[in-house]
Structure 1
Amino acid sequence: MTLSAIAQEPIVEEPSSSDPFDIYSAYRRILSNENVAVPLAAILALSELVEKSRAGTMFELVEDLNKGAEALRQRSSNPIGINAGSELFIAFVTLFPHESESFVDLKTELVKQGRRYAQEALTYRDKIAALTLGFIKDDSVILTHSYSRVVMQALLLAHQRKRISVYVTEARPGGLGIRTCDALTAVGIPCTVVLDSAVAYVMDKVDIVLVGSEAVVESGGLINAMGSNQMAIIAKAANKPFYAVAESYKFHRLFPLSQYDLPTHTADILAFPRSSKRPAASVPRPSVALMKSIPTPALSRTSSTFMSELPGSTMTPEQRKRNPEVDYTRPDLISLVFSDVGILTPEGVSQYLVGMFAG
């Protein structure tokens, strides 16, 4: 189903008034629609909370919304999108003109406005794709990262008007780059999956780098799938433009100074496993027999094939937990940000955020 068709249908079902309201269940139900991004799901879940809330004053309503947003954050390993959507909706509620005859009518209007905004926001990817098209030349080779719905929209539109080829990183450990490659190949776009560790190797062959975003922060920097930062650093060194695409509901009042300022960073990220209590001398070394049992690669076999046969050549679930899901890209590494509110420099994002939350 196309975005325009979805925009004409309700994003969410009307919640039952007889059941106790669980905001996280509502959020998960809304997010099951693949076209709804995390910030929009948070906005719609908070809209349902307004509908269910027994608050009789604006102060009580905002308090309920803050508690609801916190409940969503507590149950998510990556609350960045939830934070962006929640702060946008709560700011809207706070600044909404109180012209209704009663507080009940005001809450009804807030719910309508929240759902109306979410429906309109489904069209933002089309606007961004149209803006991006002017920066993609015919016969362009594009490097992208992982899987992004708005990047996909831009690439599909470019494919309709121009000839393009795409490299996409595999984006381990989730491997979402494979999904991107399959989707692009299905519509006839030449696409090749690139190892995450081969970004520098392929950079000389590309014309532009185009990535999505989980959030664009107040500094003008970018939070996106792990590996975006190193891609931007390499693009800068190779003098290749690094473009980010982001819907305005992903603009987030956060000012990280480093990777470790992100809300996703915890003490477990990149932590070393606890060492054994046994003295080092008592730890057995691999036996000669064990070392000889590892097969020697034949000349006809690639090193990747050989490594895939070795025990422990893929990450365990515990190892994956110790690795971050997203990283932060500094604004000086970003050429432009394409959004539904226009083509912005990183400095322009900062100015827009100040105006958006200033009322």
Structure 2
Amino acid sequence: MSEPSTNDKPRHPFDVYEAYRRIMVDEEISPPLAAILTLTELMENSTGESTPMAANLFVSFLVLVAGTMFELVKALNDGAEVLKARSSNPISLNAGCELFIAFVTLFPHDSVSFTDLKAKLVRQGQQYAAEALAYRKKIAELAVGFIKDGSLILTHSYSRVVMQTLLLAHERKRISVFVTEARPRGLGIKTAEALTAAGIPTTVILDSAVAYVMEKVDFVLVGSEAVVESGGLINAVGSNQMAIIAKAANKPFYALAESYKFHRLFPLSQYDLPNHNSRIFSFPRPKSSPLTGSKQVPTSPSSSDPPEETSSSGVAPVTITQEQISQNNPDVDYTRPDLISLVFSDVGSLTPEGVSQYLVGMFAG
């Protein structure tokens, strides 16, 4: 029996989403960087054959076939679509995908062969991700210059770059921090625990107490999921109302964002965000309607079922869980650029208008 030829060997599919999840295990790597590293792996695993590529957005497997630049860019776009389809909050990772695909598209094609070009792109992607891990330190150094000794700071949820900035400020100055609970994810508790462990005076406040404490604080400092083309901010839900209150109280509202979170997106309202869906703030259908007079038909309980508790009116009490509340609420919201004082980034301290100008230049090559 003859040996199978090289062309008959099966192509091993690459699980894009599983690679992304594996990379995200490292807490130092944010979603945009994880997306860049995932697409770099995808490119590294692509073959040199020039036949059609198959992608399944449901199981996230890609048969990687890229023998030309056109096919390679198509493979990267398909991989990005898989990541967006599988993620509940694709905004931040999409910024990384967009940046990397633009880089690949604009990269000078002066290599001797396509294989050589692809190898260069893989090295460049890995090198960029490694260098980008230092961006937080650069931002922290920049932002600390705006923090005066004795400052009382209000922050929201949990952000790696905000944490690094506050810890650096604590080494050089006296600061105190109010941090919100940040429902529904409750990540403000994580921030408070880390700051308290570092010796920073920290108090957790209710999300509903932001207006109450705003008169006491010197400024607001938040992280970001993405900074969009208008200069507006997408961040953990609650950031928008915090910015509105800060503006009314004439307090600076500062955002910290690595440049790989700059995103060519132009939302006009909360409902333009890519992760908005009909489930958010929806009203559940009642089991019975007093308007139509329809009633729930009782079912005969089995002998093993415990008796259902009822109120004095004979109606079973309604229980609303934290999980139900979380599912019916957004994870992020959009803050308009006119509410933001400055955006501190690895490319400098920018006004919202400056972010727009930088984005135009970044994607123009």
Using the size of structure 1 for normalisation, the TM-score is: 0.86
Among 325, 331, 334, the alignment partner of 2:337 is 331
Separation in structure 2 between the aligned mates of residue 325 and residue 331 of structure 1, nearest angstrom: 20
Using the TM superposition, give the Cα deviation of residue 276 of structure 1 relative to its aligned residue in structure 2, in angstroms.
3.1
Separation in structure 2 between the aligned mates of residue 45 and residue 70 of structure 1, nearest angstrom: 12
| AA partner of residue 347 (structure 2) | V
Using the TM superposition, give the Cα deviation of residue 322 of structure 1 relative to its aligned residue in structure 2, in angstroms.
1.4
Among 315, 326, 347, the alignment partner of 1:320 is 326
Using the TM superposition, give the Cα deviation of residue 319 of structure 1 relative to its aligned residue in structure 2, in angstroms.
2.9
Deviations 1:191-224 (A, max 9, x none): 0000000000010110010000000000000000
Bigger Cα Rg: 2
Deviations 1:245-281 (A, max 9, x none): 0000000000000000000101111111123354445
1:45 aligns to what? 38
Q: Which runs of 4+ in 1 moved over 4 A?
A: 280-284, 286-291
Change (3 A) 1:27 1:287: closer
Separation in structure 1 between the aligned mates of residue 192 and residue 314 of structure 2, nearest angstrom: 40
Kindly indicate whether residue 357 of structure 2 is the aligned counterpart of residue 351 of structure 1: yes
Are the counterparts in 1 of residues 43 and 122 from structure 2 also a CA contact under 8 Å? yes
Separation in structure 2 between the aligned mates of residue 132 and residue 140 of structure 1, nearest angstrom: 13
Among 254, 259, 264, the alignment partner of 2:275 is 264
What is the DSSP-based 3-state SS (H/G/I as helix, E as strand, rest coil) of the residue aligned with 2:176?
Answer: strand
1:307 aligns to what? none
Kindly indicate whether residue 232 of structure 2 is the aligned counterpart of residue 221 of structure 1: yes
More helix by share: 1
Are the counterparts in 1 of residues 151 and 175 from structure 2 also a CA contact under 8 Å? yes
Kindly indicate whether residue 215 of structure 2 is the aligned counterpart of residue 204 of structure 1: yes
Using the size of structure 2 for normalisation, the TM-score is: 0.85
Kindly indicate whether residue 347 of structure 2 is the aligned counterpart of residue 341 of structure 1: yes
| AA partner of residue 342 (structure 1) | G
In the alignment, structure 2 segments of 5+ residues that lack a partner are 1-10, 48-65, 297-309
Among 149, 166, 182, the alignment partner of 1:155 is 166
Among 81, 85, 102, the alignment partner of 1:74 is 85
RMSD: 2.0
Among 106, 109, 125, the alignment partner of 1:98 is 109
Separation in structure 2 between the aligned mates of residue 166 and residue 187 of structure 1, nearest angstrom: 12
In the alignment, structure 1 segments of 5+ residues that lack a partner are 1-17, 292-309
| AA partner of residue 270 (structure 1) | F
1:129 aligns to what? 140
What is the DSSP-based 3-state SS (H/G/I as helix, E as strand, rest coil) of the residue aligned with 1:274?
Answer: coil
| AA partner of residue 198 (structure 2) | V
Count how many residue pairs are aligned between Structure 1 and Structure 2: 323
1:235 aligns to what? 246
Separation in structure 2 between the aligned mates of residue 64 and residue 19 of structure 1, nearest angstrom: 15
Separation in structure 1 between the aligned mates of residue 280 and residue 239 of structure 2, nearest angstrom: 18
2:152 aligns to what? 141
